[in-house]
Structure 1
Amino acid sequence: MLKEQLSRNICIYRKENGLTQEELAQILGVSFQAVSKWENAQTMPDISLLPELSRTLQVSIDKLLGYISQDKPITIYEEEYKTEEYYWGLEPNKACYQVLQLMPPGRRLKLLDIGCGEGKDAVFFARNGYDVTAFDVSDAGIEKTKRLADQMGVHVNVFKADILDYRLDAYYDIVFSSGVLHYIKPDFRNEIFENYKQYTNVNGMHFLNVFVNKPFIAPPPEKEPNAYKWYSGELLSHYHDWFIQDSSEVVFDCNSSGIPHQHAMANIFVQKYPSLF
């Protein structure tokens, strides 16, 4: 697992820094074939190369190896989640009921909640009989998810991960995410969604939404340094080869920061059918 994580991260951060395999190899004093083997998980770089690799790719060794750096919060909600109250409340997202309607847990269904926050949706799914795995980048959010699951008498396999770094290596029937996908940088979206699609079982579904940029809606009052714009139709374009159960776009009022504002959001429910080719 470590080899695969390291190989994936070397490739991700090399591309993010605009380096070719040949350029990275030249900086490190190795052959480009060596870099290629690292990125294909055939071999691992010598431990003595990790400090220079870290400096060149502008990422800590911990994060290069798949461990999330603790030096600074990635989400602005880390502090908000440290309160006793649940910042987003305990009412499940409306899309949760769409999951129940379209893929009821009449059999054991594995569900992944990407960016679970404080866990209200993940725990809702577990209470309704799904086998739930969830991750978030916030330590406080993970602890509140565990606490809520314990209070409700259910189990949620919850862990810490950064949406930019984490890739699926197990199959799911349902992939769910609400209000999180704007943390994915545009250059990574195609690769990340191909991974999500690959590790979805046939007849499985994705229930996703994303904030979309509109010129007639002011930017939200929350200043999120790690948020990236999406545009109408962009999320749906990643699923041209899946069956589109539903696709919609809504504008809604929000008061999450204590300042009234609006968001535009694209919602999709899409299903993976077996390929005939």
Structure 2
Amino acid sequence: MSIGETITRKRKALGMTQKELAEKLSVSFQAVSKWETDASHPDVELLTALAEVLGTTVDALVGYRSPILADYEERYQTSEYYWGIEPNRLCYDILRLRPPVKPYKVLDIGCGEGKDAVFLARNGYRVSAIDIAENGLEKGRILAERCSTRVDFFKADISDYRLTEKYDIILSSGVFHFLRPDIREEVTDNLKKYTNDGGLHALNVFVSKPYLKRSGEKKGNRYEWKSGELFTYYHDWHMHRIDEELFDCNSGGIPHQHCMDIMVAEKKVK
């Protein structure tokens, strides 16, 4: 996606006109129009302010392809499904607590190759799913077609994507360790704000334990959480599930272990 396309998408997601964006940056709306058609590009001095106004990062704005993205794009290149196609146990928590007696609106954040999103869609939920890796999204679309169901897959980076419409259920598994500690509260506040009363968040996060056997992989842009940290952001919600689990993992071909905090919380009606 070009910088012009990125500016257009993020501006429209915020419900902002070209004129409003221009006024915030003290430039002409003609300049914004030229950026969005890629007839010209913003001056370097404007990039930080532009990213801030659009609720994103300079890296995302200019299309920087991180090593993390390259890693996952490579993992998802094969015809096989890297994570398999069996749904995460959080999906069964959702089914138990919010059986699809109506088409609940679900967002799967960091959907990977789409196994959880497709499972929920097959069971009657109205599902949207985001991920940063286009190869994963494409495999999700293939899986949805194979299962004769529909999921709205789209590309977004959890670090700069912010909700502007409400959902009934938000699911995210094995993704929040890509959130820097300094933006975690902002991100979770946004997710909570755009969740309907009575809605659910079904989340898990990797937590740091010094005694665990590590994989030897470089951490790069991965930030483990502290035990219980996730739960503190939901102190004002009703907890249906709070767990901490150790498990073995062989991703990357090197046996290692993880610890994960698991939470299912409900936004109570005021």
Q: What TM-score do the two structures reach when normalised by structure 2?
A: 0.81
1:121 to 116, 131, 143: 116
Partner Cα distance (1:146, 1:92) in 2: 16
- For 1:54, the aligned partner's letter is L
1:6, CA displacement in angstroms?
A: 5.8
For each residue in 1:116-147, what CA deviation from the matched residue of structure 2 results, as whole angstroms up to 9, or x when unmatched?
Answer: 00001110011010000000000101110111
1:55, CA displacement in angstroms?
A: 6.8
2:243 to 248, 253, 257: 248
Q: Would the aligned equivalents of 2:76 and 2:82 in 1 still touch at CA under 8 Å?
A: yes
SS in 2 for 1:166: coil
1:51, CA displacement in angstroms?
A: 2.5
| RMSD between superposed Cα atoms in Å | 3.1
1:134 to 129, 132, 135: 129
1:229, CA displacement in angstroms?
A: 1.9
Matched, 1:221 2:202: no
1:4, CA displacement in angstroms?
A: 9.7
SS in 2 for 1:206: strand
Q: Would the aligned equivalents of 1:2 and 1:65 in 2 still touch at CA under 8 Å?
A: no
Q: What TM-score do the two structures reach when normalised by structure 1?
A: 0.79
Q: 1:237 to 1:196 in 2, by over 3 A?
A: same
Matched, 1:189 2:170: no
Q: Which structure 1 residue ranges, 5 or more long, are not aligned?
A: 10-36
- For 2:148, the aligned partner's letter is G
- For 1:69, the aligned partner's letter is G
SS in 2 for 1:262: strand
1:74 equivalent in structure 2: 68
Aligned ranges 1:37-116 → 2 under 5 Å: 43-46=24-27, 47=31, 50-54=43-47, 64=58, 69=63, 71-75=65-69, 76-116=71-111
- For 1:157, the aligned partner's letter is D
For each residue in 1:28-66, what CA deviation from the matched residue of structure 2 results, as whole angstroms up to 9, or x when unmatched?
Answer: xxxxxxxxx97xx9734424864212278999x996597
- For 2:47, the aligned partner's letter is S
Matched, 1:233 2:228: yes
Q: 1:57 to 1:3 in 2, by over 3 A?
A: closer
Partner Cα distance (2:205, 2:112) in 1: 15
- For 1:152, the aligned partner's letter is C
1:260 equivalent in structure 2: 255
Partner Cα distance (2:177, 2:80) in 1: 25
Q: Would the aligned equivalents of 2:51 and 2:61 in 1 still touch at CA under 8 Å?
A: no
1:226, CA displacement in angstroms?
A: 1.5
Partner Cα distance (2:9, 2:142) in 1: 32
Identical amino acids, percent of aligned pairs: 47
Q: 1:141 to 1:70 in 2, by over 3 A?
A: farther
Q: Would the aligned equivalents of 2:51 and 2:57 in 1 still touch at CA under 8 Å?
A: no
Q: 1:56 to 1:196 in 2, by over 3 A?
A: closer
Partner Cα distance (2:43, 2:147) in 1: 44
- For 1:51, the aligned partner's letter is V
2:157 to 162, 171, 182: 162
Q: 1:249 to 1:45 in 2, by over 3 A?
A: farther
1:72, CA displacement in angstroms?
A: 4.1
1:74, CA displacement in angstroms?
A: 3.5
1:178 equivalent in structure 2: 173
Which stretch shifts more, 112-121 or 92-101? 92-101
Which stretch shifts more, 196-205 or 253-262? 253-262
Q: How many residues align?
A: 245
2:34 equivalent in structure 1: none
Q: 1:136 to 1:150 in 2, by over 3 A?
A: same
SS in 2 for 1:77: helix
